[in-house]
């Protein structure tokens, strides 16, 4: 497989009519005037990749040194070189998705331990969603690209099927992450509702005491003021009200 270091050298191989068609297009599969195929796409790290397949050989241009490694040792006719390169390019994709799923699974186990780091947990969920979205966007484009490639030549049917499976895998991962997010949001809502319920119960318990304090705090001469047991009576009444309210809430399982 021929690897070119400069983009201009790569484009010199393409006829002018083909270049006019793809001048403002980012991802495509198009037949060239040399009886071959021209492919353009961006890899997972957003590096641009250009491939030109002729019956004799396939040429590659990319800015990524990692992608150039996939072209090493690829030999054969142009069609065979393109096929082997795409196989090598996608060889680690499944293991990458499985590793991503494992990280999400480990995160799920830590998520529901109740560490109280709600803001940080939502930040991590957002980070995972961004990573999954980037993979999904890449595999969607590659699935469409390989569909076009297979339509141009059925020799690439295996590649097309492989990217179909990879896209389905990342869609399942995205659904799994969405379920985790929804479950965590529900748990946070439950915790917040429990906290609000607790404050409501406390307020209800002390509301009668507030009424008593307001009643006897009025600047009026009340008969109870001259009663020698008035002060102990108010204390006892307050304790009785608190005890009754606690008993009532526990009986109705509000506390």
Structure tokens at 128: 């995972």
Rounded Cα–Cα distance for residues 37 and 55 (Å): 9
Are 203 and 183 within one domain? no
Are 170 and 197 within one domain? no
Give the domain CATH number at 224: 1.20.58.340
Bridge partners, residue 37, by sequence? 31, 53
- What's the pLDDT at 216? 76
Rounded Cα–Cα distance for residues 175 and 101 (Å): 11
Are 140 and 67 within one domain? no
pLDDT digits (tens, 9 = 90+) for 44-76: 888 889 999 998 999 999 999 989 999 988 888
Final residue in a domain of this structure, among 134, 166, 188: 188
Are 139 and 210 within one domain? no
List the domain range (segments joined by +) for residue 213.
Answer: 193-251
Structure tokens at 207: 């509301």
Are 127 and 174 within one domain? yes
- What's the pLDDT at 229? 78
58-62 and 48-53: which strand pairing?
Answer: antiparallel
Q: Hey, what long-range contacts does 145-152 have (CB within 8 A, 24 or more apart)?
A: 145/27, 145/28, 145/29, 145/39, 145/41, 146/86, 148/28, 148/29, 149/29, 149/37, 149/39, 152/29, 152/31, 152/37
- DSSP characters for 128-178? HHHHHHHHHHHHHHHHHHHHHHHHH-GGGHHHHHHHHHHHHHHHHHHHHHH
Structure tokens at 124: 């991590």
Are 183 and 197 within one domain? no
Final residue in a domain of this structure, among 159, 188, 217: 188
Are 113 and 137 within one domain? yes
Are 175 and 218 within one domain? no
The Cα-based distances of 118 to 130, 182, 189 in angstroms read 18, 14, 11
Residue numbers in the chain where pLDDT is lower than 50: none
Rounded Cα–Cα distance for residues 147 and 126 (Å): 31
């Amino acid at each position: 497989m021929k690897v070119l270091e400069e983009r201009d050298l790569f484009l010199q191989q393409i006829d002018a009519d083909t270049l006019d068609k793809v001048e403002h297009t980012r991802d495509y599969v198009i037949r060239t005037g040399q009886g071959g195929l021209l492919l353009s796409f961006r890899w997972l790290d957003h590096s641009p990749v250009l491939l030109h397949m002729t019956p004799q050989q396939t040429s590659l241009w990319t800015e990524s040194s990692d992608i150039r490694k996939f072209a090493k040792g690829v030999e054969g006719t142009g069609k065979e070189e393109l096929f082997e390169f795409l196989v090598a390019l996608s060889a680690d994709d499944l293991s990458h998705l499985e590793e991503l799923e494992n990280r999400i699974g480990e995160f799920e186990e830590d998520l529901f331990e109740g560490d109280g780091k709600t803001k940080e947990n939502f930040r991590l969920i957002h980070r995972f969603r961004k990573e999954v979205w980037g993979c999904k966007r890449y595999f969607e484009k590659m699935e469409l690209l390989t569909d076009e490639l297979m339509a141009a030549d059925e020799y690439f049917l295996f590649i097309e099927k492989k990217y179909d499976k990879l896209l389905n895998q990342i869609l399942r991962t995205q659904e799994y992450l969405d379920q985790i997010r929804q479950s965590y949001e529900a748990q946070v809502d439950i915790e917040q509702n429990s906290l609000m319920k607790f404050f409501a119960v406390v307020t209800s318990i002390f509301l009668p005491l507030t009424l008593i304090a307001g009643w006897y705090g009025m600047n009026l001469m009340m008969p109870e003021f001259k009663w020698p047991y008035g002060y102990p009576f108010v204390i006892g009444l307050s304790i009785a009200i608190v005890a009754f309210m606690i008993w009532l809430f526990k009986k109705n399982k509000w506390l």
